[in-house]
Amino acid sequence: DAGITQSPRHKVTETGTPVTLRCHQTENHRYMYWYRQDPGHGLRLIHYSYGVKDTDKGEVSDGYSVSRSKTEDFLLTLESATSSQTSVYFCAISLGGQGDSPLHFGNGTRLTVT
């Protein structure tokens, strides 16, 4: 257990509604990440954060925003959910650094947009 809690674990929502997923860590790690996983695409990075209020885009950031107001929480928001955002979302944390710091993942949030 890497001290990561994702909430909710499952959510069903309707197209056009806003949705916020939460990632909470107890490890005080600097870096936090949001990935999505879809059949045929593997894991793809949405956004990541390298500190409080410091965030950057990943490869599939369109339609998503993030916020990190404190070290332990990283929020992923879908402003207006679409069916293409139906996916499993994983949060990850790491200490950071140039390449010698593993990422540790949460158990995911399964989001269905109807």
Partner 1 sequence: DAKTTQPTSMDCAEGRAANLPCNHSTISGNEYVYWYRQIHSQGPQYIIHGLKNNETNEMASLIITEDRKSSTLILPHATLRDTAVYYCIVRPYGNNRLAFGKGNQVVVIP
33 makes contact with partner 1 (CB under 8 A): yes
First and final C-alpha spacing in the chain: 32
Residue among 43, 51, 80, 82 that touches partner 1 (CB under 8 A): 43
| Residue in 50, 63, 71, 73 binding partner 1, rule: CB under 8 A | 50
Task: Using DSSP, state whether 71 is helix, strand or coil.
Answer: coil
Give, in order, the Cα–Cα distances in Å from 69 to each of 48, 52, 54, 114. Answer: 13, 6, 9, 30
Least distance in angstroms from the C-beta of 83 to partner 1: 21
Quote the radius of gyration of the chain (alpha carbons, Å): 13
- Is residue 102 within 8 Å of residue 41, measured between CB atoms? no
User: How far is residue 32's CA from residue 92's CA, in Å, rounded to a whole number?
Assistant: 6
Asked whether position 64 contacts partner 1 by CB under 8 A, the answer is no
Q: How far is the CB of 67 from partner 1 (least distance, A)?
A: 19
Asked if residue 103 binds partner 1 (CB under 8 A), the reply is: yes
Minimum Å distance from CB 2 to partner 1? 8
Residues at the interface with partner 1 (CB under 8 A):
31, 33, 35, 42-45, 48, 50, 58, 90, 92, 94, 96-108
